[in-house]
Chains A and B, each alone.
Chain A
Amino acid sequence: MAASTTRGKYVISSHSQEPAQEPGDPDERLVFLINEGKHLFPNEYYPLWETACGKLSHAGYGALIPLSYARHSPKLVKILNSETAINFAATVSLAAIKVNRAAAELLPKAAVIAAHELKSTQAFTSWVTTIEELIYNAPESLLAVLERTQKIVSTLTPDQFRTWVLTGLRSTGDDALRQINYFSFTDPESEKWFRHEAGDVVFTDLDRRLKLYLLSLWSLRPPIRDLPASTSPLSLRRISISNGVVRVPEVFPGFHGEQAEKIFRAGLAHVGAHLVYSTKIFPLGELKPIQVALVSLLEDARVEYLAIQTFPGLRKLWQQFHVAKPSGPKLVPLLLSRLARALIDKEYKDKDGWVQKGRDMFFDPQNDMTDPAMCRSIGVLLGNDLGQLRAQFNAKTYVVEPAYRDDNMGLWDFGDQQGQEEDSDGIFIEAMRMDREEVEDDSSSEQEQDQKENDEDEQQYHARESTDSEQRESEVAVRYPEYDYLTGSERPNWTCVLEYFPDFGDAYKIERILEKHNNLVNRITKLIQTAKVSLPERLHRQSVGESLDLDACVNAVISRRMGDTPDPRIYSTTERKHRDLSVMVLLDISNSTNDKVQVSGTSVLELEIQATSLLAYAMSELNDPFAISAFCSDGKEDVHYYRIKDFNSPYDTRARAHLAGLHGKLSTRMGAAMRHATEDLVAQRTHRRLLLVISDGEPSDIDVDDQQYLVEDARKVVRSISRLGIDTFCVGLDAGGDNYLHKIFGRKNVAVIDKLEHLPEKLPLLYLRLTA
């Protein structure tokens, strides 16, 4: 037997274990292995396998590839079946042609590992399919993936593997270097999505509910960022607070399912307690690292103690993660964990003198629990005690326990004396300092941005209005999921919509459009005016109608009895009386809108601006609430969004100047923009709400090759918007891309026009749909 199988994990056999000794010459060795195969393949399949080996060896791939196949593929017979083992030669050949020899040589070996984990032929086949997809789309990365076969197949199902691969291809586009980074797990995104697929709870999944949790408990809304899982040299990462920005690890390794959600919640509750009760920052002074660690630990206990006074349930949440035992070697990190437990767990008993002392000092009734200073004085004393015990403390390897607690870097003022001490104590401080700076680097600007994001939530339109027109950088950044039709699911937080301040153009341009098309303006206004979009109302006393109006009937009878002529209007009917409709006009201003429209000779964008001017005029005349935004995109991380007019701002010169100032650039990530526009619409309290997209067709973006991908995402958005009770309609300019538009919005919800004059003809279609 060539394969050595131990129960559970499969060990790739080393050659020396094989019974008969192999010849040294590669050609002879191949003959030898093919011979060996005779015992492993059933008679009817052996010739087929022999042929497959022969083909590989005559294809000019060199000696190693056929050898590898001949050595490993027979093992597939036992785990799976002969056919699969033989067919697999085609995949090896494909890898040899499309990728390189090294990858093709490794492939049979990886296949055996995969087969062992996956066990079924069906699962193995779908693993192979994904490998082939990689061969076609990211050949340079194949080797990296094959090298990690054990990790991959032991964690992910073949479907999850495929989704993870697709995610990689989606996020790296055509860029081979980025692909390799992803598939070799150098790119932190890779690990994150890997865990996501593996069903691990990642912070992204809980982001929203945990933020709401903090808000609910303490009215706190600190900016929260996730900390990529594999950027850290330490495998154990902790939450970190610095400059008011909270960084949360993407995963807590080892915590799954409900436990994972709990540790994230415990962590954020702990952050909340710090933000509320850690009112002062400790100066570092002359403290030794062990003292710093102790003061931090005591401060953790103090803020938790105070929080529990208000929210007793938090004790349970935190305490479950304190699992230190009152026994074992007296190593400093263990003693610290025991002290931490002693300070929160009333039932916990510990005979150690130092732990007891710490507990007694902490709970001394003389202490003012509201003052962080107590932690400093106790921490310094306890630290000295440990020093006298000659217990070793390695600051470099120390991590805060339990895992839900933050690294406490935010509690300390490191001052400005950088890199002075060179003794061993200094390294810890130095390490802390570096750590902090690394985080600080980008956090200050992010914090500002986050602050703005938060303010934005509060609908500070005026803040926005007062921003300098020169200011070009983005003010708001919001992440949205995107739908992948290949996997049939949404990837959370996949794209980022950034709001940019729109340019100013000549507001009079809009006036001139209106003047020039005076006729159209009137027609459109009339048209909209007659469209009644509202809840049906009951109309009484009608001369015709579908039901009797009881009041009117009684009155009629009464009139007759009194000898008067009865009023014949005794029916009631229902009718829509007015328009109760908000409209969000979303303009596609991608580069393609600079193209000329065949019929009218103006650019698509020009036509968009004209159509929008007419509609906006009509809607503002009729007092319909409406907003105008525009979008384009530059890859998934930078979807531009421009607010021309908000629902709660007037349609004034400023708005018109923004409208006139639009220019076409970049690409068309339509789904993300629609998701962002919907946020505003959702808040509108009208009977009907409409997202009116004006576009020239096909969604596309620079980082997307697959034409269908963004179309399907946009389609998905339209469907999910309609579930919110919001209508979508698209005005397609120029006929070119209308196929895509039909696909996204549905045939009935698209009106294609190639001349402004056609707008009034097509609009009734829209309003008819809404009143139906």
Chain B
Amino acid sequence: MNLDDYLITEEPYYSPTHNEIQLFEAAYANRMPMMLKGPTGCGKTRFVEYIAWKLKKPLITVSCHEDMTASDLVGRYLLDAEGTVWHDGPLTLAVRHGAICYLDEIVEARQDTSVVIHSLTDDRRILSLEKKNEVIKANKDFQIVISYNPGYQSVLKDLKESTKQRFGAIDFDYPKAEDEAKIIAHESGIDTKTAAKLVQISERSRNLKGHGLDEGASTRMLIYAAQLMSKGIPLEEACEVALVLPITDDLDIRNALSSAIEACA
């Protein structure tokens, strides 16, 4: 089977924040399992896409959710006219044919899924398909990458220590102000001066983190605001829609944020 469909042909726009590209390439050279940590909307997904393109490897992304089971990852038998056929799951595909497999928010998935990846993330690099009675040796190009939002998990929903310790980790945070402005300008088409204003506004919200906000406005939110502005919506309104209203229901915080945005405008 051919994973060409999973190859990223066009260079995704990615603006590095530190030396994460270099670090990741070194990790990939050793096929080290990697964990990308960081708050929501800070560019983890974009980074993996970029890296896959740079390494010219196919990328298979799985967004994990509460009801996801091991078979959703590994594969299952299905019925067809003649009888039964085995259908490889996304992880098995990546293992067999050599792709980077990105498991987004793996903690969300059920416990049994993380066990599946154990044999893939130590030096055995094998995946056993019990139902099918098959053991696959991972393709030389295969690498597993997971994302992980520290702080969002309750104690019951954390990664097991034995899972955590199988990964190397790169810490992501919102890009530096000028970089973030450049990203926003690029993604939305607004000018960098306005984008810089948006970044300044995001700092206002990030100052409230831990004082009523769990998280400041993400790069993604700022891009939304910028996209609204590129369609002619004025700054304060765009921020209201893309930022103030979604981020909190607390009226005092909304009022404080809106006033701070007014001060920036």
Q: Which chain A residues have a beta carbon within 8 Å of chain B's beta carbons?
A: 208-210, 212-213, 215-219, 265, 269, 311-314, 316-317, 457-458, 534, 538, 540, 551, 554-555, 557-558, 561-562, 578, 580, 625, 685-687
Q: List, in ascending order, chain A residues with CB within 8 A of B252's CB.
A: 208-209, 212
Among B101-109, B113-121, B183-191, B255-263, the stretch in contact with A = B255-263
Tell me whether A216 and B257 are in contact (CB under 8 A): yes
Tell me whether A209 and B255 are in contact (CB under 8 A): yes
Tell me whether A457 and B211 are in contact (CB under 8 A): yes
CA distance A148 to B215 in the complex (A): 52
* Size bracket of the B interface: 20 to 34
Q: List, in ascending order, chain B residues with CB within 8 A of A554's CB.
A: 76-79
Contact A216:B205 (CB < 8 A) given known A554-B76, A562-B84, A580-B154: yes
Q: List, in ascending order, chain A residues with CB within 8 A of B84's CB.
A: 558, 561-562
Report if B15 contacts A (CB, 8 A): no
Report if B45 contacts A (CB, 8 A): no
Report if B128 contacts A (CB, 8 A): no
Tell me whether B204 and A313 are in contact (CB under 8 A): no
Contact A317:B263 (CB < 8 A) given known A457-B211, A538-B67, A554-B76: yes
Report if B9 contacts A (CB, 8 A): no
Residue of A nearest to B153 (CB): A685
Tell me whether B83 and A561 are in contact (CB under 8 A): yes
Chain B stretch 208-265: residues in CB contact (< 8 A) with chain A? 208, 210-212, 251-253, 255-257, 259-265
Q: List, in ascending order, chain B residues with CB within 8 A of A317's CB.
A: 262-263
Report if B1 contacts A (CB, 8 A): no
CA distance A429 to B28 in the complex (A): 72
Q: List, in ascending order, chain B residues with CB within 8 A of A457's CB.
A: 211
Q: List, in ascending order, chain A residues with CB within 8 A of B265's CB.
A: 312-313
Q: Which chain B residues have a beta carbon within 8 Å of chain A's beta carbons?
A: 67, 69, 71, 76-79, 83-84, 131, 154-156, 204-205, 207-208, 210-212, 251-253, 255-257, 259-265
Which 7 pairs of residues, A with B, have the shortest CB-CB distance?
A212-B256, A209-B252, A311-B263, A313-B263, A216-B260, A213-B256, A558-B84
Contact A578:B77 (CB < 8 A) given known A216-B256, A217-B263: no
Q: List, in ascending order, chain B residues with CB within 8 A of A558's CB.
A: 77, 79, 84
Tell me whether B71 and A269 are in contact (CB under 8 A): no
- Can you give 11 A-B contacts (C-beta < 8 A)? A212-B208, A212-B211, A212-B212, A212-B256, A212-B257, A216-B260, A218-B207, A313-B262, A317-B262, A558-B84, A580-B156
Tell me whether B156 and A216 are in contact (CB under 8 A): no
Tell me whether B156 and A551 are in contact (CB under 8 A): no
Residue of B nearest to A308 (CB): B263
Q: List, in ascending order, chain A residues with CB within 8 A of B253's CB.
A: 209, 212
Tell me whether A216 and B83 are in contact (CB under 8 A): no
Most buried by B among A317, A558, A578, A687: A558
CA distance A316 to B261 in the complex (A): 13
Residue of B nearest to A316 (CB): B262
CA distance A218 to B200 in the complex (A): 11
Tell me whether B255 and A216 are in contact (CB under 8 A): no
Tell me whether B78 and A217 are in contact (CB under 8 A): no
Give min CB distance, A303 to chain B, whole Å.
Answer: 14
Q: List, in ascending order, chain B residues with CB within 8 A of A209's CB.
A: 251-253, 255-256
Tell me whether A555 and B77 are in contact (CB under 8 A): yes
Tell me whether B262 and A215 are in contact (CB under 8 A): no
CA distance A218 to B256 in the complex (A): 12
Tell me whether B207 and A314 are in contact (CB under 8 A): no
Give min CB distance, A533 to chain B, whole Å.
Answer: 11
CA distance A269 to B253 in the complex (A): 16
Give min CB distance, B211 to chain A, whole Å.
Answer: 6
Tell me whether A213 and B260 are in contact (CB under 8 A): yes
CA distance A212 to B204 in the complex (A): 10
Tell me whether A217 and B212 are in contact (CB under 8 A): no
Tell me whether B154 and A686 are in contact (CB under 8 A): yes
Q: List, in ascending order, chain A residues with CB within 8 A of B210's CB.
A: 458
Q: List, in ascending order, chain A residues with CB within 8 A of B211's CB.
A: 212, 215, 457
Tell me whether A314 and B263 are in contact (CB under 8 A): yes
Contact A557:B207 (CB < 8 A) given known A216-B257, A551-B71: no
Contact A216:B208 (CB < 8 A) given known A209-B255, A311-B264, A580-B156: yes
Q: List, in ascending order, chain A residues with CB within 8 A of B78's CB.
A: 554
Tell me whether B207 and A219 are in contact (CB under 8 A): yes
CA distance A121 to B84 in the complex (A): 88
Q: List, in ascending order, chain A residues with CB within 8 A of B255's CB.
A: 209, 212-213
Contact A217:B67 (CB < 8 A) given known A312-B265, A557-B79, A685-B154: no
CA distance A561 to B78 in the complex (A): 12
Give min CB distance, B155 to chain A, whole Å.
Answer: 8
Residue of A nearest to B212 (CB): A212
Most buried by B among A216, A269, A314, A558: A216
Contact A313:B264 (CB < 8 A) given known A265-B259, A561-B84, A685-B154: yes
CA distance A538 to B155 in the complex (A): 20
CA distance A551 to B69 in the complex (A): 11
CA distance A254 to B212 in the complex (A): 33
CA distance A68 to B257 in the complex (A): 59
Tell me whether A269 and B256 are in contact (CB under 8 A): no
Residue of A nearest to B155 (CB): A625
Residue of A nearest to B257 (CB): A216
- Beyond A209-B255, A213-B260, A313-B262, 6 extra complex contacts between A and B, CB < 8 Å: A311-B263, A317-B262, A457-B211, A534-B156, A558-B77, A686-B154
Residue of B nearest to A315 (CB): B263
Tell me whether B208 and A578 are in contact (CB under 8 A): no
Q: List, in ascending order, chain A residues with CB within 8 A of B259's CB.
A: 213, 265
CA distance A687 to B154 in the complex (A): 9
Tell me whether B208 and A215 are in contact (CB under 8 A): yes
CA distance A687 to B153 in the complex (A): 12
Q: List, in ascending order, chain B residues with CB within 8 A of A208's CB.
A: 252
Give min CB distance, B224 to chain A, whole Å.
Answer: 20
Tell me whether B264 and A540 are in contact (CB under 8 A): no
Other-chain contact of B264, A312, A458, A551, A561 (Cβ < 8 Å): A312
Most buried by B among A212, A215, A313, A625: A212
Give min CB distance, B88 to chain A, whole Å.
Answer: 16
Q: List, in ascending order, chain A residues with CB within 8 A of B251's CB.
A: 209
Tell me whether A578 and B260 are in contact (CB under 8 A): no
CA distance A534 to B156 in the complex (A): 10
Give min CB distance, B40 to chain A, whole Å.
Answer: 16
Q: List, in ascending order, chain B residues with CB within 8 A of A312's CB.
A: 263-265
Q: List, in ascending order, chain A residues with CB within 8 A of B263's CB.
A: 217, 269, 311-314, 317
Give min CB distance, A670 to chain B, whole Å.
Answer: 26
Give min CB distance, B111 to chain A, whole Å.
Answer: 10
Most buried by A among B83, B207, B261: B207
Tell me whether B77 and A216 are in contact (CB under 8 A): no
Q: List, in ascending order, chain A residues with CB within 8 A of B71's CB.
A: 551
CA distance A193 to B83 in the complex (A): 81
Give min CB distance, A555 to chain B, whole Å.
Answer: 7
Residue of A nearest to B261 (CB): A313
Residue of A nearest to B236 (CB): A313
Most buried by A among B71, B77, B256: B256
Residue of B nearest to A261 (CB): B255
Give min CB distance, B237 to chain A, whole Å.
Answer: 14
Contact A215:B207 (CB < 8 A) given known A209-B252, A578-B156: yes
Residue of B nearest to A623 (CB): B155
